[in-house]
Structure 1
Amino acid sequence: MKFLKKLKHIQFGWKHILVIFIILIIFQVFVSHLQQNTLRGLLSDTMDWYKKNSAEQIGNLTTTSLELLLESDPLDNSEDKVNRERNIIHALNSILKQPLMKRNVEEMCVILPHNNGFVAMDLGQALYAYFYNREVSDTFINSSYHRAVTRYAGIHSNMIESELITSFQEEQNIFHVYVPLVPYGEYSGAVYLKIHPDVSFISQQILSSFNKTILVFSSLILTGLLAMFYISTYTLRERDEARELLYKERETHLQEHIAQKKEHLFTKRIYHTHHKAEKVMGFINEDLENVDETNIKEIKYRVSKYANFISRVIYDMKWYSPPIQTMRNQAFRTNLNELLRFIINNIFLRISFPVKNIEFKFNLDESLPCIPVNEFVVWEVIEPLIQNSIDHSNKDVIIVTIGTSYNEMEKCSTLTIEDNGQGILPDLLIKNEFGVKRIFLENISTKEEGENCGYGCYLAYEISKRCGWELDAANRESGGSRITIFLKH
């Protein structure tokens, strides 16, 4: 009863069985037909070889018997010569007639050379006269073997050289066999047999057994498929239930992992920007102390930029993942060239004494259009990349070249940051399974352990993705590294 109750919950109907049964029958009929044709072809080739081989065996046995009899040399000058002659002729007739008693042998004779031609003999008296008396009587020559003699004349030379059995197949089941007759080791002629082997009974028996095997095999397959269908349906239902629970559990874990990753990234971003914010606050205090009538406009512009950056830092502290519209929006109109000049002149070159070992060069495309990204988000991307070029150059005189270009046809801008340093280590340019180079991965740094290992390239890469940009790193052929940002408009 429990089994019947479970069976009700399984999607198992007569339509399923019918479809499977019809498919199985069609498949089995096709396979059976294909296998029968293959088997018939195999049997045909095998039986052709068997028929030919059996025909040659009959001819070989008959020829061997003749050779042994002729090599016995029973005649001498004894008084028993007449009886011995009669016995030899009787033996020759027995050898010649014995194969004809078989159902498959239709003709048999011995073809021997005579007067620049060939004659066919099928009587013991004729063979006795030819081999022992060296006589050929026209009364013993059988003209009904004319075709066999003519065919032998064409192969006589080859058979003398090879002394091998030669066979010809006529139609499907008729074989003409020529066996070399070599008494005393000398080629004398050939024994000819026309044989019609009949092995259809064997083929029918094999095919009949094969059909029975196919029927049993098909029945077993049908039974097995029905059992498998029931088991698989029951198993799939339980699997689907388990899979649904697993998916829900994985969804929960994935949501927790995403939340943890956002919080982790938020912590790193805040730590990174907080360090820059402290430096910018120092610049603001310095500007306010040095303000006068001559530089008030310049300082007002700088302090306004600094203050807006601090405001952005404070705003970012409220979000694990800031809304995308606060990062990129058509309302933002950021002049990238102007922002690059400001960062270089008012961040990297903002020190008490002139920088002698770092030189910045600009190669900016003035036709570059404004980009719809918040300028302080761009600042968060560009500043750590430039700082990375400086920190890892290992040169006494560092030259950093910043360039921009705009491709109007492709509606794409390019920002490059190049340096003349030692370049990026090759293992940092290897891509992981997601196609991201190691230099942009988390916790990857070239700094020695114990130094202040930041997350500049990692944060720049993550922020660039949210802006819809592509970030790449490579080494220059002339030395140094190149960071490229592709900005699609």
Structure 2
Amino acid sequence: MKKNHKTILVDRVKKYHFELKHLLILLLILLTFQVFVSVIQKYSMRNFLVDTQKWYQQDFAERIAILTATSLEMLLETSAQNQNHNDIEVKKIVQAFNIILSQQLLQHHVEEVCVILSAKGGDITATDKGQALFSYFFDHSTGQQESDIYYDHAVKMYKTIMKDMEASEQIYSTLEGRQAVHVFVPFVPKGEYAGAVYMKSKPEFSFLTGGILTGYNEISLISTGLILFGLLAMFYISTYAMRERNEAQEQLYQEREKKLKENIHLQKEALFAKRIYHTHHKAEKIMGFIKEDLSALAIKNIDSIKYRVIKYANFISRVIYDMKWFDPPIHAIRNPIFKTDLNELIKFIIDNIFLRVSKNRDQFEFNLDLDRQLPKLGINEFVIWEIIEPLIQNSIDHSDDEKIVISIRTQYDKKKNVTRVFVEDDGKGIAPELLEKNDLGVKKIFLENISTKNQNQRSGYGCYIAYEIATERCGWQIDAVNKTNNGCQMILTIPHFA
């Protein structure tokens, strides 16, 4: 039995022509390439980290020094220099100076902080004592201050840049070695140049650099192993695929059968997908209107903007709701709780959708003749929106950039308990072939992939979607005809169910 198992294993290995020498050659090439790439990348990363560290050290030190100088200047701005101060006020001011200068030293990387002042007579003094600063600015003892010996090196550095700094009032910073940063910030209380705020800091980032490089080395080793096993897996799979190709033909027929079933299902979802596409495009436009309204919000127009934004937001909510359903429940479309004012909705679409679009706005104008006796509709207003808007857009699209007048009229027939909506224009009308009916009695203009746009425009599904929603979901009738003189007319017939 053992020999049989060994024989089977050997046969399987021979079948795939997989030998140890192949693995060794592959491993050698991969390791050589990976080591070479890793060394180059490690060297590049180290240089990048060093340069980044230098930049960050200077930037961080400059920010702290600027904050210190600004705090001192703000203190001098808020303290009157031309009045006598009592002992308590003097103590508070001196204490404030000491706090500002000493609190930066609490950070472990900040080593020195002082104020370098230009005294009368050309003398330069450096101090970190609040009492000395008080005497300089409030007692005006400019010639009696003694410089702190501890900051002699800072004074020497300041003397080399003093003239340039006084002329430009720019920050000067230098990097000593790889860590120490010397920063000089112009000190200009009340707009008068008085000297500079000096700071020396040594930010330490070697632990961070070392950690990144160590992590990079670990990642390089892991990636090498993953690449190796990935190549081996690809080799095995390709060889296995060669052995299985005789079975592929049979699986192909099975896959075709499966695809046919999927295509049938996809055809059922086509209307859903196209409706979502169009409503998503409209939603983008609506979001732009919301942003414009919020930008123009003021006390005098808050009520009108509030009304529009609520309508827009409800439409966006409806778009999101439609995305969840292939076949929305009927109560979300037709329900007695809906009390939609069709006239108000038409006015809103005209005023706040079409007349807000700046592009080709001069191409069309609207005439409204709305029947005030129109009863409320038990249809969700945003479903009606998806029907009315494409019909109006159709008149604009087939006008060939010529100016047209779009007339919208509503009419209520009390005897028949029917409302009719007429959307017409004085353009060139609809091509006669689009008004022909197919075998099901549906005019071609309402079929899928049929458009009234020019060939250089992208065809849409506006009339198709409007027809499907109106007839299939709302139980309405819709028709398209050419007028006797010029233009076309879309007619919506809306029965009112008891």
Normalised by the shorter chain, which TM-score bucket? Answer: 0.3 to 0.5
